[in-house]
A and B are shown apart, each in its own frame.
Chain A
Amino acid sequence: MTGFPIVAREDFSDTTFLLEIHHPAMARASKPGQFVIVMTHAEGERIPLTIADFDRDKGTVTLVIQAVGKTTREMQDICRAGTELYGIVGPMGEPSHIGAASKVVCVGGGLGVAPIYPQARGFKESGAYVIGVVGFRNRDLVFWEDKFRACCDELIICTDDGSAGIKGLVTEGIKMAVEAHSDIDEVVAIGPPIMMKACAETTRPLGIKTMVSLNPIMVDGTGMCGGCRVKVGDRMKFACVDGPDFDGHDVDFDDLMNRQRRFKEDEKLAVERWSETCRQRALLENTDGGG
């Protein structure tokens, strides 16, 4: 079976990197808000990653990945331009509803900055006034500023230490946007669950519709296993086929965060083992090179 070629790789920091994958059919079919499930090799696990960009002319889809656990660290190590992914399937999930909103705030935090990009671009293309709010820890971690400026009417950069843009979390950025504009129709927020929860709580008293994109653990991604089930209102929904977008004011974020801790011990073991493997490999390379 042939793999899926990685045609470009860019590193934004020592944990965040970008992969551009050649897949013309997927580039044609992708819509904002959708995701893929990826396998690095035959012994790998299946992990969901949001499609951060797609280029229908070039025939590529782009993923932005943060190396936190074993699989993403391994990808950071071995997925270079010129290599192949063992498996990638998508685009999955219901596309984001880029509908009638005429003024929208698109909020991305940390890694969520990448997945919010196609939504911001989509809203812009549909004629909306787009206010982008993107959050990073500090200026060294800022990426894609030019891409966002190209599709946002206003861009508010937030950094924890104030080294770029305003000092504060993205919720500060939302407050700024809301103070300046009284006619915001919708807020779209993507990032770690705790961030999305904070954004939803910021907009709840203002009564502004807030859509979030949920990222539970997944296996098949086609609605068959139920592992990605989330509580929305009083119903149970599957993030992979009913989502990944849901109304942030109805989502039970605490439940989502609890379920993301399902494999905490196994993940710790896997990371330790991977670190050990890397350490052994580095030792071997040193002794060979030294000689």
Chain B
Amino acid sequence: MAKKKTIRSIPQDRAPMAVQEPEKRVRNFDEVALGFTAEAALVECERCLLCPEPACVAGCPVSIDIPGFIIKISEKDYRGAYDILSDSNLLPAICGRVCPQEDQCEGVCPVGATLEPVAIGRLERWVGDQAIKEGWSTRPYIEPKKFKVGIVGSGPAGMACAADLAKAGCEVIVYEAFHEPGGVLRYGIPEFRLPNAVVDAEIANMKALGVQIECNTLVGRLFTIEQMRDEMGFDAVFIGTGAGAPRFMEIPGETLNGVLSANELLTRCNLMSAGKFPDFDTPLHLGRKIAVIGSGNTAMDAMRVSLRMGAEKVYCVYRRTEAESPARKEELHHAQEEGVDFHWLTAPTEILDDGEGNVRAMRCVRMKLGDPDESGRRSPVPIEGSEYEFETDMVVYAIGTSANPILGQTSKLKLNARGYIETDETLATSMAGVYAGGDIVTGAATVILAMGAGRKAAQSIKEYLSIPDSAAVYSPRTDSLDDTLFGIDLAERNFAPLRVA
């Protein structure tokens, strides 16, 4: 019998993972975190205590069977580990790289109470990368159904929903406004955090399931959601359009040349390859001294892309402190290593003109933390008389987004007070058969939450279309008859009615 693991018997330190050195990596767009080797993955798996009631599973927004896949890795059944992972999460190579594990699975891992938590995210990423390398894909037997489902948006929410519905046998068509699919995975998250090759591999998996993707299609304008249901033969629709409109501060000077949103900077660089101008036609016209306002993940991405594009100096300007920064800890850490100059407790008040319509400098005021606001975070309060000028020739706004207006303008979907699509707890909207999830419902959030929403909506759509749920058939047997009707699982919906004499 195997010796039971205790906190003292497991390897005390995390298995090492190679990372590109800061001085080298600011000059390239190659991945920063280089991933485990097979040996390191096996060592890291030994650190898992195999808790009888794993908190990590509950901490995961899509409830991945984490101990399950870790056991498979330990047994060197890597394909088995991938099968378990992809049961809950079709995109492990993506989530392993971009999930804020410190707030999710790793944040509740009991090993983390005394040592560093098990590196669950790195293990997930390693399995995902093996799958891409080996060309594994989980294409189960799919029984075709006569239903057609439309998915609006090819980002993480739309893709997760599309994959589940394709597996359930529906004909699935994904509509994407851009000329390339992937949504924020493509235009938002930079190459050094999430290589486009990984996004392409996951999209290829989806196509292998039979999902059709139509780019260059702006739903709402080319055709409406109502038309999808009434004229185009869609039995159900999922809306995962994400992409909010960038927020500006409405301070003087915001329309000067050299001021742009992080969304614009990232789209030019990640999607349109502005770094390769003039071989590629989209320019960026990077400044020498870039000031990024904000300290979330988008801000971190904007800063680190600017460094790699050749900026002399990159500043982060944030009105609260490092402790309140919402960015993923690893990204903040990497940004600090790469030489970003952080100006905490600072807020801009005006952007100054060089006389020719370009940014010359920014006037800022120092802040201090006052009383907490409704979100519970202490409100920043300007310190009187602490204004100063700050030389910069490019100002990038990464202070959040508000709802994209197009679907509100073109359909009768009910929106909430802030302009996002209103849904109930099953993610149904005010239109029958139309569901929505991800940033267009919640406001800016994360890839994993969007995927979780896509999966949840797929479940709701299956119920709406009365597609029998295979999860009910194969769920673990319980020995009591409490949740059954004459021994038949209540969750199994389409059983034939019994005639009792």
Residues of A within 8 A of B (CB): 1, 4, 25-26, 29, 34, 39, 43-46, 70-71, 86-92, 94, 219-220, 222-227, 229-231, 236, 238, 241-242, 255, 258-259, 261-263, 265-267, 269-270, 273
- Please give me the 3 A-B residue pairs with the lowest Cβ-Cβ distance, nearest first: A266-B283, A225-B264, A45-B281
Whether the Cβ atoms of B285 and A263 lie closer than 8 Å is: yes
Interchain CA distance A94-B220 in the complex, whole Å: 11
The distance from the CB of A155 to the nearest CB of chain B, in whole angstroms, is 31
* Chain B residue contacts of A70, Cβ below 8 A: 278, 281
Given contacts A226-B245, A226-B260, A262-B285, contact A90 B218 (CB under 8 A): yes
Interface residues on B, range: 35 or more
Complex CA–CA separation, A224 to B277 (angstroms):
22
Using Cβ atoms and an 8 Å threshold, which residues of chain A touch B179? 39, 46, 86-87, 89
Tell me, rounded to whole Å, the shortest Cβ–Cβ distance linking A241 to chain B. Answer: 5
Could you mark each residue 201-213 of chain B with 1 if its beta carbon is under 8 Å from any beta carbon of chain A, else 0? Answer: 0000000000000
How far is B186's CA from A213's CA once the two chains are assembled, in angstroms?
A: 31
Residues of A with C-beta under 8 A to B449: none
Q: List 12 A-B contacts (CB under 8 A).
A: A43-B279, A90-B218, A219-B272, A223-B404, A224-B245, A225-B260, A225-B263, A231-B255, A236-B254, A259-B357, A270-B277, A270-B283
Can you name the residue of chain A whose Cβ is closest to the Cβ of B188? A224
Q: Name the CB-closest residue of B to A3.
A: B216
CB distance from B259 to the nearest CB of A (A): 9
| CA of A258 to CA of B276, assembled, Å | 25
B254: nearest chain-A partner, CB-CB? A236
- Which of A88, A241, A270 makes the CB contact (< 8 A) with B406? A241
Chain B contact residues, CB within 8 Å of chain A: 177-179, 215-218, 221-223, 243-246, 248, 250, 254-257, 260-261, 263-264, 267-268, 272-273, 276-283, 285, 357, 397, 404-406, 409
Which residues of the other chain, B, contact A90 by a CB distance below 8 angstroms?
A: 218, 221-222
Contact (Cβ within 8 A) B273 A43: yes
Take A224-B245, A226-B246, A266-B278 as given contacts and tell me if A91 and B264 are in contact as well, using a CB distance cutoff of 8 Å. no
Q: A29-B222, A92-B221, A262-B257 are in contact. Are A222 and B177 (CB under 8 A)?
A: yes
B248 touches A226 (CB 8 A): yes
> Please, which residues of chain A bring their CB within 8 A of the CB of B280?
43-45
In the complex, are the beta carbons of A219 and B267 less than 8 A apart? Answer: yes
In the complex formed, the residue of B with least CB distance to A220 is: B267
Q: Other CB < 8 Å A-B pairs besides A91-B221, A223-B405, A267-B283, 8 of them?
A: A70-B278, A219-B264, A222-B218, A223-B245, A223-B406, A224-B246, A261-B357, A270-B283
Q: How far is the CA of A225 from the CA of B216 in the complex (A)?
A: 17
Cross-chain contact B282 with A219 (CB below 8 angstroms): yes
Kindly list chain B residues whose C-beta atoms are within 8 Å of the C-beta of A270.
277-278, 281, 283
Query: A70-B281, A89-B179, A222-B218 are known contacts. Are A227 and B245 too (CB-CB below 8 A)?
Result: no
- Which residues of the other chain, A, contact B409 by a CB distance below 8 angstroms? 94, 241
- CA of A25 to CA of B227 in the docked complex: distance in angstroms? 12
Give the complex CA separation of A265 and B287 in angstroms: 13
Inter-chain contacts of A87 with B (CB < 8 A): 179, 215-216
Considering only CB atoms, which chain B residue lies closest to A74 in the complex?
B281
Distance in Å: Cβ of B417 to nearest Cβ of chain A = 19
